Each structure stands twice: as C-alpha cells, then as structure tokens.
Amino acid sequence: MSEMETEIKNLIIDTLALEDVDVADIDSNAPLFNDGLGLDSIDALELGLAIRKTYQIKIDAERDDVVKIFASVATLARYIESIRQ
C-alpha cells in the first residue's frame, strides 16, 4: 500500500466519520461505492470537498472519467499523484 493510499483511507475515515473502520479494513482495490465500502453520492460529495481542501485538487463531477477516478482508493491515489507531479 502506498503512502498516498494510506492518506486517502485516513481521509475517508475522518471525513465520513467511519468510527468502526480502520485503515487496514479498507481494501485499496475494492470499490468505494455499492458493494465495496458502500459509500453513496453524499459521501462522494463530502470526499470530493475533503480532497479539494487537503490536496488543492478539484475533481469536477461532470468529468467523463469521474466514476473511474472514484472507483477505488487505488485509482483515486493514482489520480491525485498524477495531478501533483
């Protein structure tokens, strides 16, 4: 697990107040929504705002690839790292 993945997992836990979830409980490659972590559209908005505040990166909800970006912790980490380079 990369350092960015760990940061994102902590961001998810803190932002969404997931009290009974630990970093180790979140599979980096599991879906964030539906069958995976079970996040919903409100969670996505909150997470998007937290990413914007933390990394100064705005992920436009109108992007064609927004679903792919938010597919998993791993895809989100890769996207953020690619923007920060």
Per-residue model confidence (pLDDT) at position 18: 92
Q: Please give the Cα distance from 55 to 19 (Å, whole number).
A: 23
3-state secondary structure labels for all residues of 8-64: HHHHHHHHCCCCCCCHHHCCCCCECECCCCCECHHHHHHHHHHHHHHHCCCCCCCCC
Indicate the range of 46-50, 52-56, 59-63, 79-83 predicted with least confidence.
59-63
Closest CA to 4 of 12, 45, 63, 67: 12
Q: Is residue 72 classed as helix, strand or coil in its secondary structure?
A: strand
Q: Provide mean pLDDT across the span 2-21.
A: 95
Asked if residue 1 has pLDDT above 80, the reply is: no
